[in-house]
Chains A and B, each alone.
Chain A
Amino acid sequence: MLRFFLKRLGWMILTVWIVYTVSFFLMRAVPGGPFASEKKIDDAIKRNIEARYKMDRPLYEQYFSHLWSTVQFDFGPSFRLEDYTVNEVIAQGFPVSASLGIFAMVFALTLGMTAGVVSAVRRNSPYDVSFMMLATIGIAVPNFVLASVAVVIFVFMWPLFPAAGWGQLNQIILPALCLGAPFAGYIARLTRTGMLEVLTSDYIRTAYAKGLSTRQVVMRHAMRGGMLPVVSYLGPATAGILTGSLVLERIFALPGMGSHFIEAALTRDYTLCMGMVLIYTVLLFVMNTLVDLSYSIIDPRVDLEDQA
């Protein structure tokens, strides 16, 4: 277990370091440097930036000094927003994005798994057919199209939800639904396939032979095996939800990391952009590690050492 974590940590450090180095040199590769070429930049910000990035020092020294502060999770001042550091922006956005992501994930899991189990148990029934149709639609339609349609219907035509804003429960439901929908579709499909495979295996027949009810067999015996593909999908799903949040936070004007990131990209706020890319990399790595860990808990045959 400890070895698994250490190995993972090693890979994470390597990956983050590569991402850091590439972004650092790309940023500096802009002719004259992004810090020099901009005329519009505020004097106060410029002084801060120059002091922070040690612009008078040779490049390698800048690289290492910046690396050292980055290791301490200090990403420096924002390039565009006066009086804001990158850390402050991230600290503001993170709780919003995290709660949106968690809501979306919970929604995707409950809806997807329920639909998948029902489809598998009632194979070829109208439930099965319609759930799988819905799943295909959910997967194929891009989430911003889905969100646009949802806004038209549920905000303007039939005003159930507010169009934008943050802070109340009903403001999070619609974005979370739209964000989770494609993943609910995938999870429903995976659950169905996994369950169908498990339901024909010998131990399920044994469980039935013992005289257990269908409910007990499905819930206690089949689910555990049938869930494995879903658990291994959670890693990619996390990455997808992080990406999807970029769009949904923008459509619903939520003040999360995603909208800050896009804003930073549009205004060319290099320091903020870079800090966020690093944070997203770490986040993805941590989530993937957690997923692999939970996978080995559900399926004891999986060796964690091999996963690292």
Chain B
Amino acid sequence: MTDQSTRPHDPRDLEHYATLLENAHREKGISLWKDAWRRLRRNKASMVSLVFLVLLSLSALLTPLLPLQSPVEQHLGDGTFQPPGMTAAHLPLLELRQEYDETIAELDARLDAAETAQQRSELEDELESIVLNSPFERYWNKPGPITRLMIRFRISLFGNWSVPSICGTDNLGRDVFSRLFWGARVSLVVGIVATLVSLLIGVSYGATAGYLGGRVDRIMMRIVDIFYSVPFIFVVIFLITILDEPSIKASLEQFGIDRITIFYFLIGAIYWLTMARVVRGQIISLKNEQFIEAARTIGASRARIIFRHLIPNVMGIVIVYLTLTIPAVMRFEAFLSFLGIGVAPPDVSWGLLVNEGLQDITPIKIYWWSVTFSGLALAMTLFALSFLGDGLRDALDPRMKNR
């Protein structure tokens, strides 16, 4: 060492250091996430689940584009309780769309030509009633503007063809296969949104308690303890009962809050407790870790410590709990819908489908398909989510590292 320092300008040494530096730059550290991904990829069950879930989310997202039968159109009489088969109900979708577009165009033209204000308002009323009774409203349940566009595109894409009733039809002759897809949308959205609500509350609450520590921490965690001993499911059912009171419902709907929105927040508000505890524990143990100390020693700012060192380390466990909370929330939604206090018809969700399917089973005749396919869809999704959650936990948990 001393030898080298006495002749610092030796060109060979400089060269040597330069190559060393270059090598060091080329050497890529494996980030926490890459490492976790590498381990997750080795876990077959998790990867199968991941692929399944990605496919499921994609098809739920793109449901209006798929050539499915109408989820709400009823075929009473011969159409009810059709066993799984290849019969398809033929809706003249192309013709319906054309007729609708022509009527609208004609009315628009008349509206432009209208002279008196009275004529104008009459025409507007007529236009509105036609829009409300459009084939889109009749064959799909309350489609939004984007959904409408997608359905139009689907009609151009597939014409009048739709997938036959490969999962049979239910007691009102509605296609079970199509209802499964539309139900997936509601079930998944409830699962994800409610979980995000719980994430937001849980992480901020837990991080605050953990970071502040001391008496604030004790009081905040005591509150969580109290909440833990409240049977929330019963309280939520009670709350839904009250919020379902017609007068309250009407005033809530004025603010654009429908039953499903209430749902997100109620469910999200129960499931934050565990998240808060986990995040708090993690923050407390990380706060005193040596790498945080080291970062502080080399002069890292507080913001840098929080965002570069604390948050990424908490993210792992948060993601694990996220994947474990989603199935819990979905199960709860299905549970409430099953009992008839959750998602209400004409909306569809998997819990509701299982409930309807179960009612189709009578001692006289077992119409097994409705309950079987919806139960299977629900069970497989929950399965995949819990496998993925377990896999992620193994991949991200530092204690499992290199084992």
**Which residues in A have some Cβ–Cβ distance to B below 8 Å?**
11-12, 14-15, 18-19, 22-23, 26-27, 29-32, 34, 37, 136-137, 139-142, 144-145, 148-149, 151-152, 156-157, 163, 239, 242-243, 246-247, 250-251, 261-262, 264-266, 268, 270, 273-274, 276-277, 280-281, 284-285, 288
Contact = CB atoms under 8 A, between A and B. Distances in A.
Interface centre among A142, A151, A264 (most CB of B within 10 A): A142
B382 A148 contact: no
A247 B339 contact: yes
Given A140-B386, A144-B335, A31 B247 contact: yes
B335 A142 contact: yes
A243 to B, nearest CB: 5
B149 to A, nearest CB: 35
A18 B240 CA distance: 18
Interface string B212-248: 0000000000000110011101110111111011111
Contact of A141 (B229, B235, B357, B379): B379
A30 B341 contact: no
B190 interface: no
Given A142-B382, A149-B375, A270-B241, A243 B233 contact: yes
Contacts of B335: 142, 144, 243, 247
B126 to A, nearest CB: 36
Contacts of B239: 26
Nearest to A22: B235
Contacts of B366: 152, 156-157
Contact of A152 (B340, B361, B386): B361
A11 B371 contact: no
Contact of B241 (A14, A239, A265, A288): A265
Nearest to A273: B238
Contact of A148 (B340, B341, B375): B375
Contacts of A239: 231
Among all A-B residue pairs, the 9 with the closest Cβ atoms? A145-B375, A140-B383, A280-B231, A141-B379, A265-B241, A140-B382, A277-B234, A31-B247, A148-B358
A142 B230 contact: no
B39 interface: no
A250 B336 CA distance: 12
A281 B226 contact: no
Interface string B323-334: 000010001001
6 contacts: A15-B226, A18-B226, A26-B239, A137-B383, A141-B379, A148-B354
B11 interface: no
Nearest to A250: B339
A116 to B, nearest CB: 17
Contacts of A273: 237-238, 241
A23 B238 contact: yes
A199 to B, nearest CB: 19
Contacts of A140: 327, 379, 382-383, 386
B363 interface: yes
Nearest to A251: B358
Interface size class of B (residues with CB under 8 A): 35 or more
Interface string B376-390: 001100110011000
Main secondary structure of the interface of A (DSSP, over half): helix
A31 B237 contact: no
A15 B241 contact: no
Given A29-B242, A149-B371, A152-B361, 14 more contacts: A18-B230, A19-B230, A37-B246, A136-B386, A139-B386, A140-B383, A141-B375, A144-B358, A148-B371, A156-B363, A243-B335, A262-B341, A270-B242, A277-B234
Contact of A142 (B225, B234, B357, B379): B379
Contacts of B358: 144, 148, 151, 251
B251 interface: yes
A273 B231 CA distance: 13
Contacts, number: 138
Contacts of A276: 234
B338 interface: yes
A141 B382 contact: yes
B231 A148 contact: no
Contact of A19 (B235, B241, B248, B379): B235
B245 A37 contact: yes
B353 to A, nearest CB: 11
Interface centre among B238, B361, B383 (most CB of A within 10 A): B238
Contacts of A18: 226, 230
Contact of B245 (A11, A19, A156, A268): A268
B373 to A, nearest CB: 11
Interface in B347-403: 354-355, 357-358, 361, 363, 366, 368, 371-372, 375, 378-379, 382-383, 386-387
Given A149-B375, A265-B237, A270-B241, A281 B230 contact: yes
Interface centre among B239, B246, B338 (most CB of A within 10 A): B338
A261 B238 CA distance: 9
Contacts of A156: 361, 363, 366
A12 B358 CA distance: 39
A151 B242 contact: no
B248 to A, nearest CB: 6
Contacts of B237: 261-262, 265, 273
B225 to A, nearest CB: 8
A266 B375 contact: no
A232 to B, nearest CB: 13
Nearest to A143: B335
Contacts of A22: 235
Contacts of B248: 30-31
B234 A280 contact: yes
Contact of B231 (A27, A152, A281): A281
B155 to A, nearest CB: 35
Contacts of A251: 358
Contacts of B331: 142
B230 A15 contact: yes
Interface centre among B251, B358, B361, B363 (most CB of A within 10 A): B358
B229 A15 contact: yes
A268 B239 CA distance: 10
